């Protein structure tokens, strides 16, 4: 039964329904695997957690007890004693527990965020096999969201679904921001306010992604504009680049890449028109691949410029009321 159970789990990991952690990974020891997995037969498989189930096992033990028994002939007896022995048995038990995965499920696919290999993209079966088409090992990022699904080495570096009533200590906050109902909200149309993620050192090969709803804008300032988007390549909290949805006074929307310069100055590096997305939930992402910087929105438009230097990441809003559903950073392999 133990061999059969392990075989079924391995088949599920390789192609039937891999529901564990962040995907199938080869291993030599438990420390090679993700949280919630164990190295079993050279593969990272789900560790057993508390819950309902049946199992078989062998064991040795010592103990004392009273009991009734039957033997050859007729008669019953009771007695006490100590002894050692081995045996097999089956049993059922019930318990409660969430293991290390927690309970929050941002994408609603039945896999909690901490053990989901695509925490912002629903993928119930956690498929992570595309790298195998190039005879490369899966990297633990699910095929449904992997920025480079056929290439190994990508990883989820940061995922924050904004649970609770405040940002955690990983964030540096400038301006008026609130956390409620699984959202990070900028509730006022004030100029140039941001949150920077401090625990991620940054790099020049990464993807920064968010889902945002821009509820209202009041263009103003020197550029008569309003915007909301993601920050990258931050050499300090106020200098870097920004990929954002830009509203210009008098009408018109763009997806845009700007430099962000201390003191409020900025220079546009590139932009392209997009449909009006006011009041709509939209996914906005920026990719740095060592060659170019790409700012894209899920309406299909994107703009590309030269690559950006390594640096920190975050979110920024200027003269807009906006709600962010999550913040996600992938690092890209070589």
CB–CB of 209/297 below 8 Å?
Answer: no
Q: How high is the pLDDT of residue 264?
A: 57
φ/ψ (deg, to 5) at 66: -115, 150
Q: Give me the chain's average pLDDT, please.
A: 81
Distance CA 288, CA 334 (A): 12
219 falls within a domain: yes
Q: How high is the pLDDT of residue 71?
A: 40
pLDDT in tens, 254-272: 999 999 877 656 788 999 9
Point out the domain boundary residue: 153, 183, 207: 153
Higher pLDDT among residues 27 and 196, named by residue: 196
Among 325, 313, 328, residue whose Cα is nearest residue 119: 328
Residue 117 DSSP label: S
Distance CA 146, CA 333 (A): 11
Polymer length of the chain:
334
Q: Indicate if 202 and 261 belong to the same structural domain.
A: yes
What is the full DSSP assignment across 303-334? EEEEPPPSBEEEEEEESEEEEEEEEEEEEP--
Tell the residue number behind the tokens 């845009």, with chain if given: 256
Point out the domain boundary residue: 153, 182, 199: 153
Q: Indicate if 19 and 133 belong to the same structural domain.
A: yes
Q: How high is the pLDDT of residue 299?
A: 97
Confidence check: pLDDT of 50 > 50 = no
Q: Indicate if 179 and 214 belong to the same structural domain.
A: yes
Percent of the chain exceeding pLDDT 90 equals 59
Q: Indicate if 158 and 300 belong to the same structural domain.
A: yes
Question: What does the pLDDT average to over 153-174?
Answer: 96
Q: How high is the pLDDT of residue 11?
A: 39
What is the domain range of residue 218? 154-331
Count of domains for the chain: 2
Q: Indicate if 144 and 232 belong to the same structural domain.
A: no
- Helix (H) or strand (E) segment spanning residue 142: none
Q: How high is the pLDDT of residue 178?
A: 97
pLDDT in tens, 66-97: 444 444 434 444 444 444 444 444 444 444 44
Confidence tier at 31 by pLDDT (50, 70, 90)? confident
Q: How high is the pLDDT of residue 270?
A: 93
pLDDT in tens, 284-315: 999 999 899 999 999 999 999 998 889 999 99
Contact partners, residue 265, CB within 8 Å, separation at least 6? none
Q: How high is the pLDDT of residue 20?
A: 39
Among 266, 313, 260, residue whose Cα is nearest residue 286: 313
Confidence tier at 201 by pLDDT (50, 70, 90)? confident
Tell the residue number behind the tokens 């699910």, with chain if given: 142
Higher pLDDT among residues 58 and 16, named by residue: 58
Q: Is the pTM of this model over 0.85?
A: no
Percent of the chain exceeding pLDDT 70 equals 73
> What is the number of other CB atoms lying within 10 angstroms of the CB of residue 119?
26
């Amino acid at each position: 039964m133990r061999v059969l159970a392990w075989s079924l789990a391995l088949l599920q990991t390789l192609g039937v329904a891999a529901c564990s952690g962040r995907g199938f990974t080869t291993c030599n020891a438990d420390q090679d695997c993700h949280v919630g997995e164990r190295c079993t037969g050279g593969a990272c498989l789900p560790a057993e957690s508390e819950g309902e189930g049946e199992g078989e096992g062998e064991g040795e033990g010592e103990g004392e007890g009273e009991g009734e028994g039957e033997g050859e002939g007729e008669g019953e007896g009771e007695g006490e004693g100590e002894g050692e022995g081995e045996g097999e048995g089956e049993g059922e038990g019930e318990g409660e527990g969430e293991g290390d995965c927690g309970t929050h499920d941002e994408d609603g696919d039945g896999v909690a965020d901490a053990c989901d290999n695509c925490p912002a993209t629903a993928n119930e079966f956690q498929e992570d096999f595309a790298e195998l088409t190039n005879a490369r090992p899966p990297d633990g990022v699910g095929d449904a969201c992997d920025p480079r699904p056929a290439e190994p080495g990508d990883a989820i570096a940061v995922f924050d679904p904004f649970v609770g009533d405040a940002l955690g200590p990983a964030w540096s906050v400038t301006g008026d921001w609130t956390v409620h109902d699984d959202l990070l909200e900028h509730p006022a149309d004030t100029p140039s306010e941001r949150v920077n993620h401090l625990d991620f050192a940054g790099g020049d090969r990464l993807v920064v992604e968010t889902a945002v709803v821009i509820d209202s804008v009041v263009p103003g300032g020197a550029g008569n504009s309003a915007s909301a988007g993601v920050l990258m390549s931050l050499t300090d909290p106020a200098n870097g680049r920004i990929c954002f949805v830009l509203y210009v006074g008098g009408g018109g929307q763009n997806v845009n890449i700007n430099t962000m310069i201390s003191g409020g100055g900025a220079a546009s590096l590139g932009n392209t028109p997009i449909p009006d997305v006011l009041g709509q939930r939209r996914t906005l992402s920026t990719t740095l691949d060592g060659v170019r910087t790409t700012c894209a929105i899920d309406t299909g438009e994107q703009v590309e410029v030269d690559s950006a230097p390594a640096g920190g990441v975050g979110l920024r809003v200027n003269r807009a009321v906006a709600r962010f559903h999550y913040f996600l950073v992938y690092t890209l392999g070589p």
